[in-house]
Structure 1
Amino acid sequence: MDVPEELLAKGDVARRHVREHPKALAGNALGALLTIVAVVVAMIVLPDSLYPWAHWAIGITGIVLLILVLVYPLLQWMTSTYTITDKRLIARSGFLKKTITEIQRADIKDLTIETDVVDRLAKTGSLIITTDTGRTLTFRHVPAVEDFKARLLTPFTQED
């Protein structure tokens, strides 16, 4: 996965660039499946006297719900990345509203990893960063979070 050039300062080199773990979309996939089942059941159960208007209304409602429950979150997920460079950690997210958060690696005071049972199975987790100024940032669904943390803490050499 390539790092967009606009994220990198002159002379800055991306050392690790990852997207949020796909586990972040599990709830949305389940919601989409339930939406499809509900639409099919509603169309089967509706009396024929309501045909075709009720079927159209249910179908359109189902499509709108699928867009809200699955398509929009999928686009959000596709645009959510975490990048470690020589000097910074860059978190980028957003499809319609872009948010870019940058932290100088030198300003990181504390790193904490939070995982639950599902996170440990998926080898993912949340990385909680506290800066020198006391600002706390949480990066969720970081894949291989232990390796990401180790990479963030390791100083880079010219050969890296």
Structure 2
Amino acid sequence: MAISPKLLNEGEKVVVDTRTHVKALILPIFALVLLLAIGTFGQVKLDQDSDAQHITTLALWVLVAVGIIWFVLRPLIIWATATYTFTDRRLITRTGVIVRRGHDMPLARISDIAYEFGPIDRLLGCGTLLISDASTHGTIKLHDIPRVEETQRTLNLMLQKIHDPAAGHDDGA
């Protein structure tokens, strides 16, 4: 899952590299089960005695296949190709299959990193990372980030070192 080294600047190191939690695939899996159940039920209810019923069954399975492509494979591919990477210098997001979209934000522009998660998120160990920058763009939301609390703590330490370099050093006082 690591980001391509071609996307990193010289001396830049990856600190956190992640994608959306597999929780994002729960609905596509449910859709797959439902579509296959519909196809199977339809095939059992239609008798295969005539050519018209055979064509109807074939049409049903074509519709099920289209549904699987749209409601199962498309979300799976989107999930597999979207990455969120924090380096020691910036946030790098990459999404898309045919049209790749990317967004880079220097860590120095980030003013706050928070998280939120509900009961299901807590149960699954994921949450939404809220990244506020100093611009008028507002807040970037990265949904369903695995181990969101740990990620937020790591990123806050990085931001502290960037915004207050003296805080990372012990003066021995």
Establish whether TM, by shorter chain, passes 0.5.
yes
TM-score of the aligned structures, taking structure 2 as reference length: 0.84
User: Gaps spanning 5+ residues in structure 1: where?
Assistant: none
Give 1:1-160 correspondences, 5 Å limit. Answer: 1-48=1-48, 49=50, 50-135=52-137, 136-155=139-158
Q: Secondary structure of 2:136's partner?
A: coil
Deviation at 1:47, TM superposition (A): 4.2
Query: Within 1, Cα distance between the matches of 2:11 and 2:117?
Result: 35
What amino acid sits opposite 2:38 in the alignment? A
Query: Within 1, Cα distance between the matches of 2:64 and 2:149?
Result: 40
What amino acid sits opposite 2:26 in the alignment? A
Cα RMSD over matched residues? Answer: 1.7
Whether the 8 Å CA contact 2:113–2:155 is kept in 1: the answer is: no
What amino acid sits opposite 2:42 in the alignment? A
Query: Within 1, Cα distance between the matches of 2:130 and 2:16?
Result: 18
Whether the 8 Å CA contact 1:105–1:152 is kept in 2: the answer is: no
Structure showing the higher helix proportion among its residues: 2
Query: Within 2, Cα distance between the matches of 1:139 and 1:60?
Result: 35
Once the two structures are superposed, residues 63-109 of structure 1 have per-residue CA deviations (whole angstroms, 9 ceiling, x without a partner) of: 11101111111111111111110111112111222121211111111
Q: Secondary structure of 1:51's partner?
A: helix
What amino acid sits opposite 1:153 in the alignment? N
TM-score of the aligned structures, taking structure 1 as reference length: 0.91
Deviation at 1:112, TM superposition (A): 2.3
User: Gaps spanning 5+ residues in structure 2: where?
Assistant: 162-173
Whether the 8 Å CA contact 2:93–2:103 is kept in 1: the answer is: yes
The percent of aligned pairs where both chains have the same amino acid is 28
- Tell me: higher relative CO, structure 1 or 2? Use CA pairs within 8 A at least 6 residues apart: 1
Number of residues paired by the alignment?
157
**Higher mean displacement: 41-50 or 128-137:** 41-50
Q: Which has the larger radius of gyration?
A: 2
